[in-house]
Every structure is written in structure tokens, then in C-alpha cells.
Amino acid sequence: MADSEKRKVLFIVNPISGSNQKYRLTDEITRICEKHHLIAEFFKTTGENDKQKISKAIEKHAPDVVTAVGGDGTVNMVAGLLKNTGIKLAILPTGSANGMAYELNIPTNMDSAIGIIARNVSKRIDLLMINNQHLAVHLSDLGMNARIIKRFDREKIRGIYGYSRQFFKELKSPSKFKCIVQYKDRHPRKYKAVMVVMLNTHYFGTGAMVNPVGKIDDGKFEIVVIKPYPWYYIFRMFLAFFSGRIHRLRHIRIISCSYAKITVTPPQDLQIDGEPTGEIRNIEIENIPKAVDVIYNDRQEHLLFKPSRILK
């Protein structure tokens, strides 16, 4: 195949994502891309002014696809740059949290993940805009999980071990807060909660299904309110999370809408795609329909669920 006919893929590599060393990663990606008749270009993030530098790299290389090589934070940054450009977004999951890759059924095996980029099956998906300021691609939440992520970030123990340590600390004593959700022209709904999740997707990065009723491109998003629960309820909740039945529990409320305002008292930690953004009292969420064209795996399935069916 002549070079002019090959598709160009720009890989945005976050070298600190996850816990694995990334020696020879670019050589490995280049080799696999050659096998699939793709031209690989690279940009390594530094954690400083990456957005501006990546915009320039996109201008310079004019790629057909931009691939985020990292966790959900890297996916979020790249998706924001590709919003409404017509350039496709792909993911090579190498982060400690790879929720969006899980959602799109992208494996961590590099050969398979690049094979999916080569197959080029894509779909325009909705994203969320939070407080007119932050784009959310995978999942954002207030309360328990955001607090875990904040501590995880501070302790600098990366990978799944670091997250699990914080998770079990928090699970023992989740703190409650008041939450008012206003959407459409309905009366505001009031809840006591330990956590409020805002998402268009279905899964936490761990594979737990938090939003069985959502659709990634229907112009709506979901607000999942997890109400305070007795300790013995944890087991039932785990079971429901991993069998896709969380919406049937009385400690869970799910609201679908395209715009909402949430007020929490006292102010709660907010995290967006794995990045802590500080404590907040008021939050405004808006759905941005079909904002980015994303490559997904339409073939193999996860062990328990069938996300590619959900995506269709």
C-alpha cells in the first residue's frame, strides 16, 4: 500500500499514566501500526501546556485519528481538542483508570487495541459540560468516589493497589450530604446521598455497572444518586453493580435529562474523569450531543456484559 493511501494516527502518549514503565512503547506501537498499514506519529505529554502543544501537533500532522495513550485524564484532554473537528478519537488504555476504554470494549493488549483502530468502526457520542467550564467524557461524581480519588492523587501510590487502599478506607465510613436536583421544569428533588454520579456511559473503570439505563448518544445523560446504606447492604450493592441491576435497588435513584442543576450541602469533592477538581456546592450539567467521533470495538465482548450492543 502506498504511504499516501495509509491512514495517519497521532498517538498522544502520557508517560506517567498507570504503573507500568513505558520503555520502547513508541517502537512497539510503530511496529504494530506498520503491520496494520497505519502511519504512526507521536506526541509525549509533559503535564504542562499539553493542550496548546497537542493542538499544534494536530495542525502539523493532520491525522485521521488521534489516539490517547493513557488513562481517562488523557482521554478527556484529547476528546476536548477533537470536539466537532471530524477527526476520530481512539484509545490505547495504559492508565490506572481506563473507564472509557472499558466502556468502548478496548482491551489493554496493545496489538488488539491497534487492530481496533485499524478496523476504524466509530460512532459519534455525547459528552457533558460541567459548570460551562469542564468537559466530561467518561464519568464525574460528587462525594465518596471523588474523595477517594483526591486522596489517591495526594498519596501518589499509583495503579489499582493505590485506588483499592483508598476505596476500602472510605467504604467503612461514607459521609452523608444533602442534595437537590433540578431538571426540566419539575419540582426540585431532594435526597440524602453518599455519592452522586453524572454520566453518559455505563461503567466505572473497575467494570461495575453504575448506569444500566444510559445510552451514549441519545442526547441525554444520567444522574445516579446513591443514598446512605446500612453496612450489610454493601454486599447486595456489589452484587447489583456486577450483575447490571443497580437501578432496581431502593438506595439508588437514576434521573435521565439533558440539563440539570445540583446543589449539595455541605460542599462536596468533585472529580471529572479521574481528575479531582476541588470542593463544590453548585453544579450545572449540560449534554453536548454527538460531540466526538470515537473508535470502538464492535466485536469481542467483556466477560459479563455486552457494551458493543449498548453502543449500537
Least CB distance to ligand ATP at residue 273 (A): 7
For 279, how many CA atoms within 13 A lie in the half-sphere containing its CB?
6
Least CB distance to ligand ATP at residue 71 (A): 2
Question: What does the binding site for ligand ATP look like in residue numbers (CB under 6 A)?
Answer: 14-18, 45-47, 70-74, 95-97, 158, 274-275
In SS3 terms, 246-309 reads as HHHCCCEEEEEECEEEEEEEEEEEEEECCEEEEEEEEEEEEEEEEEEEEECCCCCCCCCCCHHH
For ligand ATP, which is the closer residue by CB, 18 or 107?
A: 18
What is d(CA 300, CA 297) in angstroms, rounded to the nearest whole number? Answer: 7
Q: Are 253 and 197 in contact (CB under 8 A)?
A: no
For ligand ATP, which is the closer residue by CB, 162 or 174?
A: 162
Least CB distance to ligand ATP at residue 23 (A): 15
Burial profile 58-91: b = 16 or more Cβ within 10 angstroms, e = fewer: beebebbbbbbbbbbbbbbbbbbbbbeeebbbbb
For ligand ATP, which is the closer residue by CB, 44 or 236?
A: 44
DSSP reduced 3-state for 15: coil
Q: Give residues with Cβ within 8 angstroms of 46, minimum separation 6.
A: 53
Least CB distance to ligand ATP at residue 50 (A): 6
Least CB distance to ligand ATP at residue 16 (A): 5
Give the residue at shortest CB distance from ligand ATP: 71
What is d(CA 48, CA 63) in angstroms, rounded to the nearest whole number? Answer: 23
Least CB distance to ligand ATP at residue 311 (A): 22
For ligand ATP, which is the closer residue by CB, 4 or 49?
A: 49
For ligand ATP, which is the closer residue by CB, 41 or 255?
A: 41
Least CB distance to ligand ATP at residue 107 (A): 16
For ligand ATP, which is the closer residue by CB, 47 or 86?
A: 47
Q: Give residues with Cβ within 8 angstroms of 212, minimum separation 6.
A: 202, 244, 245, 246, 247
For ligand ATP, which is the closer residue by CB, 77 or 125?
A: 77
The torsion angles phi and psi of 164, rounded to 5 degrees, stand at: -60, -40
Chain center to CA of 296: 14
Distances (CA, A) of 207 to 100, 114, 212: 10, 22, 12
